[in-house]
Chains A and B, each alone.
Chain A
């Protein structure tokens, strides 16, 4: 734990993420207005003491919408990466443990998935489903498990021949027991790092989709769809473009810093310093 707080990357990343988490959790308490309250008397007003981030084209308070947008952004990041990590761990364990044709089959599936341009794949699936926050999370999860699969498989390959695993096997432990109590706990380090970095890209993908109108649908606020408004009113209302973009930038930066910091900390090569 001490190592963690001495690593400037991890620490600054964590501070950013925790701050955003607090803002998102307490959004209903902090938000000065109902995020969907339409006030036709204050359409597109510039930031002031009354509306600290201004109002949008329908007179809604941008600051309140940003707070509720943070909830969406965090939710999508966690759930999408949760799905991807779960699939990755299951397939990676099976491939790494049983090897042979099962391994070949899974790894070919990974190769195939990696050669389809991801953003096209996501958009294609969304084209056939209806865009909603749940579909977005599932689709991002289903299209980003390949990295974790490879990591877990590689860890299993190197752990499989170690004495403690061979010992467990000799003593007659079941496959299930070996995978869950010996192999998996020892392969999670790289998975944690890649998951944290994965959240960052999920946040970017979600905001991109929402910006294109294929993600979180109005009236639910998300940073991406506030930016869609920003694009429309770019000549009159700079605040609609500036704040959501900064929020996405900060969030993604936070996860990336945390991920890279964790990588440094967890890398055994760096143990000594």
Chain B
């Protein structure tokens, strides 16, 4: 187990180098000199500051040397500062001579996106395991058919469209829920309990939108997995021994059917992070997706590269955790019976 863990962690190094290479190649796509972008949206950028940028990215050197130096900088977690006029650090806070702390952009945005996605994963699991199990136990009845219908519609419905409709219905027509941002005005004057309540109210719609396709996918997955498991010999044996049907379904079958979900969660992380762009920009949630979208619009190149690298890194970590979780949850792997 320990050997496997070390092997998996070491494996991440060449992956990270590959990811950084692709990120770096993308920035080579930019026509002309990247410093001209800075000048385009920040008229105050002088020739002097552009010269500084050129030095920072070593634009006067050959491409391969540029890549090496950039890799060296990001391996020390130095992602530079945003091109936008506030010039905040991309990743983590810095302290200037007077002791003023400037928070990093990703530092502020990441927890919000993680919160939304973790809530989303929790909801996806609790609902889709129930739906999938119900559909499999009642195969070919109206229950199964409605779950299948829900799955197909869930896959096909554009998240941003549903977001618009929900905004209209719950925010404009009925004013049940706030439709943008994370906090109401006057948030700071509320008690701690009311602050949490206010935050949760703001999160309902974005979380709902970000779960949608996951809900459909996982429900289908659980349904098909259960149908497969329920046809296996050990289930017949359990039934033959006279074990109560509820116990057969919920203990014997479900345990085996949901095990692979651990891997699915790992694989769905890039989709969840990437999908945050649309939900966050519609609801004006200041998370990673919104940050990335704004950076793309302004061609804020250090922020784009920073989020691309950090997002990929998180995916690798997620995959690692999923693999370890699977190895831990499957007794055959845990006891070293199979590789």
Contact = CB atoms under 8 A, between A and B. Distances in A.
Dominant secondary structure of chain A at its interface with chain B? helix
A121 interface: yes
Given A116-B19, A117-B315, A125-B29, A212 B156 contact: no
Given A124-B308, A204-B158, A234-B168, A108 B152 contact: no
Interface size class of chain A, counting residues whose CB lies under 8 Å from the partner chain: 35 or more
Nearest to B282: A231
Interface string A99-128: 000000000110111111111110111111
Given A108-B18, A127-B299, A252-B155, A116 B308 contact: yes
Interface string B303-337: 01001100110011001000000000000000000
- Which has the most chain B C-beta neighbours within 10 Å: A112, A120, A213? A120
B29 A128 contact: yes
Contacts of A124: 23, 26, 296, 304, 308
Contacts, number: 139
Interface residues of B, number: 50
A231 B274 CA distance: 21
Contact of B26 (A128, A248, A249, A253): A128
Contacts of B172: 234-235
Nearest to B277: A119
Interface in B5-63: 14-15, 18-19, 22-23, 26-27, 29-31
Contact of B153 (A213, A234, A249): A249
Given A127-B296, A238-B168, A257-B152, A115 B19 contact: yes
4 A-B pairs with least C-beta separation? A119-B274, A245-B161, A117-B274, A253-B156
17 contacts: A108-B14, A116-B308, A116-B315, A117-B312, A126-B296, A127-B295, A128-B29, A211-B158, A234-B167, A242-B165, A248-B156, A248-B161, A249-B158, A252-B155, A253-B156, A256-B155, A257-B152
